[in-house]
Amino acid sequence: PQKRGALSYHPIMAFCCETKEVLQAWLRAGNAYTSNGIMEFMKQLLAHLPNRTRIIFRGDSGFFAGSLLAMLESKGHGYLIKVKLKNLVALMDKQVWTPIPNQPGWEQCEFEHECSGWGKPRRFVAVRIEEEKQPSKQQELFDNRQYKYFCYVTTEALCPWDTHKKYGERATCETWVEETKSQMGICHIRTGEFLANSALFQCAILAYNVMRWMALMSANTTLRQWEITTIRTFLIRVAGKLVTSARQLILKAPGDLLYQKEWSAWVAVGSIS
């Protein structure tokens, strides 16, 4: 929170990148570390998926934990997780770096390394780019190049540069998180009770998923790309008239809607039985 000591929460959420839906979400206390409860969280998530479904867990350095990697491996799943660079920069400096084709200034390497407590080595891939030096009138006696590193531990058979780009796709997840926060109000603290706020949090997640599922079922490309606010503006907050005819309720909408195709596809989802 902006004010130290104020009531806050630190939710943990898992998205499906293909559908943008929230697969699972927990509300946690504001002082919870990123990976707190991740083992139980993932066990519950995997229990809800079909047995033959293989997932690739993509997460930031907060989830760089040997216990999580071992659990995913034991169940046949993959992972792509950013590595905490603390104590690893010296190790990466010793690796053989090669230029990345068509990427001026970038270099890549891969190696196996066993972190403390792991029990076995795992595959690491890394890319780096030389940082620009500040202009100086004084000449340097030694070659003192500084690099910016990006390192990942992964099970996937991708080259370091492709791994780096694949992880970069995770940035879209931040957009979805912001969408649930600002457009669905999942982080509004409405009561002083954790359990009550957790229930409201889950209701907001369900509402978000319903919107996503309806867009997916519509098979309309435009609807699938729209954010919640756009759907709410053009498809829900639409002037109309509810009338009764032959003992049936009929919703009459204006004939000159701005997004007529999207409206028709959206309404058609409600008639699917």
Cα separation, 197 vs 192, in Å, equals 8
CB 113 within 8 A of CB 91: yes
Report, in angstroms and rounded to the nearest whole number, the Rg of the chain calculated over CA atoms. Answer: 24
Residue ranges of domains in the chain: 79-133+142-169, 220-273
Q: What mean pLDDT is predicted for residues 256-268? A: 86
Cα separation, 204 vs 201, in Å, equals 5
**With 70 as the cut, is the pLDDT of residue 26 above it?**
yes
CB 5 within 8 A of CB 31: no
In the numeric block, which tokens belong to residue 152? 């990942």
Q: Which of 155, 96, 164, 88 is nearest to 126 (CA)?
A: 164
Most confident of the following: 4-18, 111-125, 254-268 = 111-125
- pLDDT value of residue 138: 62
DSSP structure string for 40-93: HHHHHHHHTS-TT---EEEE-GGG--HHHHHHHHHTT-EEEEEPP-TTTHHHHH
- pLDDT value of residue 267: 82
CB 45 within 8 A of CB 12: no
- Among 4-13, 36-45, 53-62, name the one with the lowest average pLDDT: 4-13
CB 184 within 8 A of CB 176: no
Q: In this prediction, what percent of the chain has a pLDDT beyond 90? A: 53
Q: What is the pLDDT of residues 125-143, one digit of tens each?
A: 999 998 876 666 566 555 5
